[in-house]
Amino acid sequence: MSSAAFRNLRPLLRPRSIAVVGASQRRNRGTRIIENLQRFGFKGEIHVVNPKYDEVLGFPCVPSVNDLPDGVDLIVAAVGADAALAAVRDAGARGIGAAVLIGSGFGEGTAGKERAAELRRVLDRYGMVACGPNCYGTADFVSGATAFSGRIVDPLPLGNVALVMQSGALSHAVTDPAMGRGFGLSALITTGNELSTTVSDYVAWYAQDETTQVIGVFLEGLRDADKFAEACRLARANGKAVVVVSGGRSSLGRQAAMAHTGAISGSAAALDGLLASVGAIRVNDLDEFRETLLLFSHLRRTKPHAEEVAVLSISGGASGLVADAAEATGLPMTSLEPAAVEQLTEILPDFSMVNNPLDVTGSAVEDPTILLRSLRVVAAQPRVGVVVFAMNVGLSGPGQEEIYRTQAELLAEVAAETDTPIVLLTMAAGPLDPVVHATTEKAGVAVVMGLRSGVQALKAWLDWPKFTLEQRPEIAKVEQWPSPHPVASGTDALQTLADSGVPVAPFGLAATAEEVAEVVARIGTPVVLKIESPDIAHKTEVGGVRLGLASPEEAQAAARTMLDSVRTHAPEARINGFLVQKMVDGDRFECLMGVVADPQVGLVLSVAPGGVLAELMGPAASRPVPLSARDAKELIDSGVLGTLLAGYRGAPVYDRAALVQTLVRFSEMAASLPGLAAAEVNPLLVLPEGQGVVAVDCLLINDQAAPEEH
């Protein structure tokens, strides 16, 4: 998908002329839209549609959309649902290219659904783009086109962060706590019910905007996962970070999200996998969201020249807490070189210990040069990509505030001397002293507030440059499902798996007991024998499985006994013969790999330890199909599987490379099957290093299967 495949949002976000429908002298949402347009310096024409007034806020009114002059690009409907629909219909007929619908009533109840369907027809008929309905609107601060009905925090400087929110109200939880910290936006978009444009369109638009360097997204549900993934790839290709926080991670949260936006919400693991596959940054809550956006915004053009972190503090307690947070997050803390340890030993008081995090002790309050000299030593370390100073709070009272202001000045002094980024981390969230802000802002020292959120933001910033986009193959769908039945198992499934390049234990289909002996003679012993029937889901319960058969004669006799047992316990079942398969001897590690159709993301693949370990491990990470080799490696390393394959506690080292290749091939097979709902290989045996993998059993289910067959 190229950028041309996304909606052209220029008439919506960069209009030359805007008409506000419903602005009133009684101060309503339409009035606030006009006030926002004035406040943020919109240079184009502003028109008002309201038959009740001659003027609103000094702008002359016309009675209807049909009375507007030519050249209007955007109408903003701040009226009831029926009036909004009529306004959009008239606008389309006039050649107006875009609309923002503020109100609700397009989806709620039977009348709302009918109204939504008619709105889609109108938009399609006239080729219009629209934001909403049920939203605050759009605010493009680059052009000043703030067709936005909500209050916007004041002051809000023009910045390089575009916020795209599926909840308008939650935008305040991002912008308001960041007041006084230099947090500026290039855009604030609230998408509402997304009847026309979606989150994906806005991410793609701002991925190509010169002012925007960071895109923050609040998601409740994706309507177009493939399109969203492509928008994130476009942003990554253009060097712009996409930071995502999502609601609906629990079952109750998913219900709330669906009730709010109407979008289907899938599993958290599937969404996480999608974001990881395109290099988007997944954060856990709004505090982490805000701090990550702020850090990326401040360090937008700075890339770490090394991957490790050094932390300094004047408190031993703070140092311990930072160390705990760093370990929990995986923040790579540097080991100071011997020469640096020697220098710091000379600088610090005799009772101090030289570690990382480094406690410069309270003596640095009385003698600030202790902190200054220590910062210089640490910043010069070749493996240090960022120096962090952990300060208690951002704002304090008289007396204490001078300490923090002095520390900010020292950070600024060192920042001017080094190319290594300097970051101020406060141990607690809260407001920031305006003097500290002015000092750090001028010096290019980034500030993150709150220990956990700040450490997570630092980890994301250090990790972001490591991701590289990989070209994914276009997988064509095969024409036919590999079985005459919606559930393909046995030879149909194994042959499909083998044809995709996944190694499968030797097998054959025998129509009779005599043919069983012939297959065994060909593939070797020992073998497992299974009844082949589309009507029997649990073969062991009807005597349809025998293991460890050591000769053709034993297998032939077992087949006759098996057939009698199956006919007794399942007399109506269709019997297609016997699956004969060579058993795999020797050392091996048992895995389970599967694909399921997530309602939001689509087909996603997971892999996990199999056998008795499967139930102990909990939900596995996933990635959308088809996988890249990097995706496969990340899945293996996302849990304990990577550790177990590497020779855990004296066990052999297993063939990780073969597993990576197999995951990629299995994912490509899954992507090619029409109507696939689920696929599972269990077990997949990973052999010792260099010996490959072997699939033993496979199940394929399409979307025509009955629920009880899944």
Q: How many CB atoms lie within 10 A of CB 242?
A: 27
Is beta strand 185-190 parallel, antiparallel or unpaired with respect to 137-140? antiparallel
Which letter, b or e, does each residue of 637-664 get, where b requires 16 or more Cβ atoms within 10 Å of its Cβ? ebbebbebbeeeeeebebbbebbbbbbb
Task: Say how far apart CA 156 and CA 389 lie, in whole Å.
Answer: 27
Structure tokens at 676: 């696939």
| CA within 13 Å, CB half, 383 | 11
Please check whether residue 412 is in contact with residue 445, taking contact to mean a CB–CB distance below 8 angstroms: yes
As given in the structure block, the two tokens for residue 116 are 């939504």
Position 198, amino acid: T
- Stretch (H or E) spanning 41: none
pTM score, whole prediction: 0.92
Compute mean pLDDT per 10 residues along the chain, 710 residues long, and list them.
76 98 94 98 98 96 98 98 98 98 92 96 98 98 98 94 96 92 96 97 98 97 95 97 86 47 64 96 97 95 90 96 97 97 97 96 96 98 97 90 96 97 96 95 96 98 93 88 90 96 97 97 96 89 96 97 96 95 94 95 94 62 95 94 92 96 98 96 96 96 76
How far apart are the C-alpha atoms of 461 and 141, rounded to whole Å?
A: 25
Q: How many Cα atoms sit within 13 Å of 661 on the Cβ side?
A: 14
Helix (H) or strand (E) holding 554: helix 552-569
Q: Which residues pair with 100 in a beta bridge?
A: 76, 131
Distances in Å between the Cα of 565 and the Cα atoms of 489, 519, 576, 706 are: 20, 22, 15, 26
What phi and psi, each to the nearest 5 degrees, are found at residue 250? -100, 170
Length of the chain equals: 710
Tokens of 388: 């962090």
State whether the Cα torsion 667-669-672-677 is positive or negative. negative
Please say whether the beta carbons of 66 and 90 come within 8 A. Answer: yes
Q: Which domains does the chain have, with CATH numbers?
A: 1-136 (3.40.50.720), 153-301 (3.40.50.261), 306-466 (3.40.50.261), 506-582 (3.30.1490.20), 589-709 (3.30.470.20)
The single-letter DSSP state of residue 289 is: H
517 close to 506: Cβ distance less than 8 angstroms:
no
End-to-end CA distance of the chain: 32
Q: Which residues contact 313 (CB under 8 A, 6 or more apart)?
A: 319, 322, 357, 358, 359, 360, 389, 390, 391
Q: How far apart are CA 585 and CA 574, in angstroms?
A: 32
DSSP string over 69-97: PTT--EEEE-S-HHHHHHHHHHHHHHT--
In sequence order, the β-bridge partners of residue 590 are 685
C-alpha dihedral sign at 531, 536, 541, 542: negative
156/172 Cα distance (integer angstroms) = 12
Asked whether 274 and 225 are in contact (CB, 8 A), the reply is yes
Three-state SS sequence of 337-362: CHHHHHHHHHHCCCCCCCCCCEECCC
Cα 205 to Cα 197, 208, 277: the distances in Å are 11, 6, 20
Question: Which DSSP symbol is given to 633?
Answer: H
C-alpha 242/C-alpha 221 separation (Å) is 16
Closest CA to 20 of 485, 56, 593: 56
| CA count, 13 A, side-chain hemisphere, 563 | 16
Least Cα distance to 404 among 379, 428, 378, 373 occurs for 428
Q: How far is CA 319 from CA 280, 291, 414, 652, 667, in A?
A: 30, 20, 21, 40, 45
What is the C-alpha to C-alpha distance for residues 575 and 581, in angstroms, rounded to an integer?
A: 18
- Tell me the C-alpha distance between 262 and 195, whole Å: 10
User: Which pairing describes strands 45-49 and 59-62: parallel, antiparallel, or unpaired?
Assistant: parallel
Q: What does the block give as tokens for 431?
A: 């407001």
Helices (H), 444-591: 451-463, 490-499, 513-523, 552-569
